[in-house]
Amino acid sequence: MAQTQTEPEAAPSHSSRLPLIFGLVLMIAGGGASFAALYLGLLPAGHGAAQDTATGPAALPDIAYVALEPMVISLSDPAARHLRFSAQIEVPAAYQKDVELLRPRVVDVLNGYLRAVDLRDIEDPAALIRLRAQMLRRVQIVCGADRVRDLLIMEFVLN
């Protein structure tokens, strides 16, 4: 019988996973420390974090409000329902007189738009956001986009 010699098999060379695990732990710890430092304000980040406290808070913009008279709009509905609507227009203070001069046109545009809106659209809970955006756009067309900053709805009641 011939004896065959078996050579011991060389162990497969596995690279150690220890450096990978160590790197992963360091990465997680570094990310957590960075988050904590930014969250606690220890590191300035962005335009709001590096505010100079000696100057105090920023001044409010120079704005004015133009009040619109409350409107009662009869809706095209067999039940003869009405919408009571009141709003104010936010404008740069320099344009307040110009927008007040155009107030009758603004009321006319808003009245015409609200009369044309379907009752189902008004009753929808999310409708006020869409309606406000549509009305703001119409007011900006009448007065000029640079003269009107926002439309603030004071009253929106369906009777």
Q: Where are the domains of the chain?
A: 63-158
pLDDT reading at 48 higher than 70 = no
Tokens at 118, concatenated: 């379907």
Average pLDDT for the chain: 84
Burial of 29-56, coded b for 16+ CB within 10 Å and e otherwise, reads: eeeeeeeeeeeeeeeeeeeeeeeeeeee
Are 102 and 142 in contact by the 8 Å Cβ rule? The answer is yes
pLDDT reading at 55 higher than 50 = yes
Phi, psi dihedral angles at 136 (to 5 degrees) = -60, -45
pLDDT reading at 103 higher than 60 = yes
pLDDT reading at 155 higher than 50 = yes
pTM of the model: 0.62
63-158 folds as Tetrahydropterin Synthase; Chain A (3.30.479)
Q: What gap in Å lies between CA 85 and CA 156, rounded to an integer?
A: 5
Q: What gap in Å lies between CA 101 and CA 109, rounded to an integer?
A: 14
Element (H, E) at 64: strand 63-67
Average pLDDT for 86-94: 96
- Residue indicated by tokens 């000029």: 144
